[in-house]
């Protein structure tokens, strides 16, 4: 029985007769038992196990009860109602008490933090995929499970922990199936364990739980033609429904008859079971809910120890104004942060071209897509104001696109790397700066008449020293335009010598083509681009070979399994042949004995020949 506001649920109490509750076949796709498999794979006390325990999912290695108890879940769902104005929480009416299961309760049960999040598209290059799953063209959860089952020991400790985190999230919490594809955004997130640990997984997992449980039986009843057929109902639930079962243990004192609570935070890992939950046993939760000592707990409040946890302190500010898909918070820039787009700068460039005027452009450092901790919010915007004059452009749209792509900051570097190996310079770049040619004004410096960012000035000076003024014949006459192109070239050089994002050769190729179209001498850069392209082709070929090898290994394993099966069948057949031979031998002996007995009988007959009586 699913109650709604339209049914005037406050005028009726929770049914006490068992006949008013109906049974159903419920399938819950939630495999929290994978946490025990992870504990076994990582081996208690090993370095891998300790690394996993330091993650936000580390406490789940100590989970005790792993059964989903669908009968118990189905029973409580029959007491669900919809109050007016309810949002993002589930409400139940049992024993005259109104019970709530929402984000706060889910947070206390699971220890998962809540907050706004945005996973993004996961379009950036993911090294984890190449290292662990590079041979798979379209990554599915079955591939992750195969690595977990057969190849986990061959991975590094960190990659093994990453695979285990994906297993626990996808199979344990989300209840997804092996045939489902892996979200590239999750691969990108798990590669940065700091971002993974501070991501609001409570918001991510709760969204599915709420969608699955909210008015579930009412939705099923809409498809049932009569109450009689309602008793033959069968349905499935996906997501972390197991946490809802733990909430039932927490709220209903009668649950202590089949569940045992030990110490532990979060509460989910502290519960174990003493007996199997049957339909008759589960009915006692609601039918005895009005008895003294068995009244359900209306409010699930955090203890003092729970209030001091990081996940509760980070989640509490979001419970009053919870949103699923809000703008991501910025995180302190990392050395490996991928570049992100900035609409503001692009719009300024477009306006600059349209008006043919000088306008300050802010060069803002990129912010990572990963969610950061609320305790470490830092402003990492590095604003550089620089006059940019855009005039005499034959195709403004193309120039804006090329300039904008090229002026993206690709990573944050703490020092200028060596260039002698790549470009033939014998000393460090700083040694090539000629005295008197570089003048500094804040973060903008002048190099032989061109104003560029200070961090690219040593690279530009080294280029001028080896190749001369490569922008002398540029078709764009304003110095600011040439400076912009030179900054792009310096960024490309830095990317090449630091091997930063070199897999995106198409982007670098477009930048070089834009330079050539502007009549800037970049012929010396072509040699290095060709080498990068050849290396990329070799890497692609190697990836294909690895994929073929992986497929061959799978076929070999299948052949080995078939061979073992054939051998077992042959051994069984040989055993049957031996038994048949022994049986034939026995019957031959029996036949021989019978023949001997028959012969002896005939002899006796002849010896006792009949004599004449008279």
The per-residue pLDDT for 397 is 41
- Rounded to 10 degrees, the C-alpha dihedral 588/590/593/599 comes to -80
Beta bridge partners of residue 94, listed in sequence order: 97
Taking the model in full, what pTM does it have?
0.52
Which helix (H) or strand (E) segment holds residue 238: the answer is strand 234-238
**Six-digit token string for 212:** 């699955």
Specify the DSSP class assigned to residue 101.
E
Which long-range contacts does 449-452 make (Cβ < 8 Å, 24+ apart)?
449/479, 450/479, 450/482, 450/483, 450/486, 451/386, 451/479, 451/480, 451/483, 452/483, 452/486, 452/487, 452/490
| Mean per-residue pLDDT pooled into runs of 10, the chain (614 residues) | 42 53 85 92 90 93 88 89 80 89 94 88 74 84 93 92 95 93 91 92 94 84 56 84 92 88 87 82 82 86 91 85 42 34 34 36 35 37 34 41 44 36 37 39 76 87 89 82 86 78 71 84 83 80 83 84 87 90 90 87 73 60
Write the secondary structure of 106-170 as one string of H (helix), E (strand) and C (coil).
HHHHHCCCCCCCCCCCCCCCCHHHHHHHCCCCCCEHHHHHHHHHHHHHHCCHHHHHHHHHHHHHH
pLDDT for residue 141: 94
Report the pLDDT value the prediction gives residue 218, as an integer from 0 to 100: 77
Instruction: Give ∠ CA 46-52-56 in degrees, rounded to 5.
Output: 155
pLDDT score, position 230? 55
CA distance 365 to 344: 12
Q: Which token pair is 89? A: 């929480």
Q: Using alpha carbons, list the distances in angstroms from residue 145 to 68, 358, 464.
A: 21, 57, 54
Helix 157-167 / helix 184-191 crossing angle, nearest 10 deg? 140
Q: Token match 């091997």: residue?
A: 499
Q: What pLDDT does 320 receive?
A: 66
Please classify residue 592 by burial: count the beta carbons closer than 10 Å to its beta carbon, then call 0-12 exposed, 13-18 middle and 19+ buried.
Answer: exposed
* pLDDT at 123 (0 to 100): 63
Strand-pair category, 234-238 with 25-29:
parallel
Give pLDDT, residue 475: 81
- Cα 392 → chain centroid: 49
Q: Residue 455 class from Cβ within 10 Å (0-12 exposed, 13-18 middle, 19+ buried)? A: middle
Where exactly are the structural domains of the chain? 343-521
Q: Are strands 90-94 and 97-101 parallel, antiparallel or unpaired?
A: antiparallel
């Amino acid at each position: 029985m699913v109650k709604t506001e339209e049914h005037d649920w406050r005028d009726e109490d929770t049914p006490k007769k068992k006949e008013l509750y109906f049974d159903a076949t419920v399938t819950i796709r939630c495999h929290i038992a994978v946490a025990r498999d992870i504990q076994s794979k990582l081996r208690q006390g090993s370095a891998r196990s300790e690394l996993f325990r330091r993650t936000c999912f580390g406490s789940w290695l100590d989970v005790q009860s792993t059964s989903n108890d669908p009968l118990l879940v189905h029973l409580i769902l029959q007491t669900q109602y919809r109050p007016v104005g309810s949002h993002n929480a589930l409400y139940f009416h049992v024993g005259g008490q109104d019970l709530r299961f929402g984000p706060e309760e889910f947070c206390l049960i699971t220890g998962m933090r809540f907050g706004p999040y945005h996973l993004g598209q996961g379009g950036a290059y993911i090294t984890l995929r190449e290292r662990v799953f590079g041979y798979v063209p379209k990554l599915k959860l079955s591939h992750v499970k195969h690595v977990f089952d057969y190849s986990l020991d061959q991975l590094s400790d960190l990659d093994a922990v990453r695979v285990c985190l994906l297993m626990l999230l996808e199979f344990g919490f989300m209840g997804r199936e092996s045939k489902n594809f892996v979200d590239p955004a999750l691969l990108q997130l798990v590669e940065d364990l700091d971002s993974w640990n501070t991501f609001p997984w409570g918001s991510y997992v709760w969204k599915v739980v709420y969608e699955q449980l909210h008015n579930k039986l009412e939705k099923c009843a809409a498809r049932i033609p009569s109450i009689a057929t309602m008793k033959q109902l069968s349905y499935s639930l996906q997501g972390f429904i197991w946490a809802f079962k733990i909430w039932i243990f927490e709220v209903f004192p009668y649950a202590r008859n089949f569940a045992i609570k030990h110490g532990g935070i979060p509460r989910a890992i502290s519960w174990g079971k003493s007996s199997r939950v049957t339909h008759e046993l589960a009915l006692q939760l609601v039918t005895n809910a009005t008895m003294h000592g068995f009244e359900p707990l209306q409010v699930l409040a955090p203890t003092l120890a729970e209030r001091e946890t990081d996940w509760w302190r980070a989640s509490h500010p979001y419970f009053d104004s919870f949103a699923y898909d809000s703008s991501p918070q910025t995180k302190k820039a990392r050395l490996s942060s991928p570049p992100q787009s900035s609409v503001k700068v692009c719009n300024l460039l477009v306006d600059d071209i349209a008006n043919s005027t000088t306008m300050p452009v802010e060069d803002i450092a990129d912010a990572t897509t990963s969610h950061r901790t609320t305790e470490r919010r830092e402003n990492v915007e590095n604003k550089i104001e620089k006059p940019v004059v855009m005039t005499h452009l034959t195709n403004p749209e193309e120039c804006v696109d090329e300039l904008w792509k090229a002026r993206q900051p690709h990573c944050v570097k703490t020092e200028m790397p060596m260039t002698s190996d790549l470009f033939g310079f014998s000393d460090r770049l700083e040694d090539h700066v000629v005295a008197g040619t570089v003048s500094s004004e804040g973060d903008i410096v002048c190099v032989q008449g061109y104003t560029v960012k200070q961090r690219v000035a040593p690279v530009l000076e080294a280029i001028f020293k080896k190749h001369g003024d490569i922008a002398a014949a540029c078709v764009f006459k304003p110095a600011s335009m040439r400076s912009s192109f030179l900054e792009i070239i310096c960024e490309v050089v830095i990317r090449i010598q630091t091997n930063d994002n070199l897999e995106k050769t198409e982007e670098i190729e477009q930048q070089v083509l834009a330079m050539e179209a502007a009549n800037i001498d970049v012929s010396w850069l072509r040699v290095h681009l060709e080498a990068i392209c050849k290396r990329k082709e070799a890497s692609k070929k190697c990836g294909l070979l690895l994929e073929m090898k992986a497929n061959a290994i799978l076929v070999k394993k299948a052949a080995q399994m078939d061979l073992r099966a054939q051998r077992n069948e042959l051994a069984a057949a040989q055993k049957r042949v031996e038994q048949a031979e022994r049986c034939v031998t026995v019957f031959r002996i029996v036949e021989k004995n019978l023949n001997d007995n028959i012969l002896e009988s005939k002899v006796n007959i002849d010896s006792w020949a009949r004599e004449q009586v008279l």
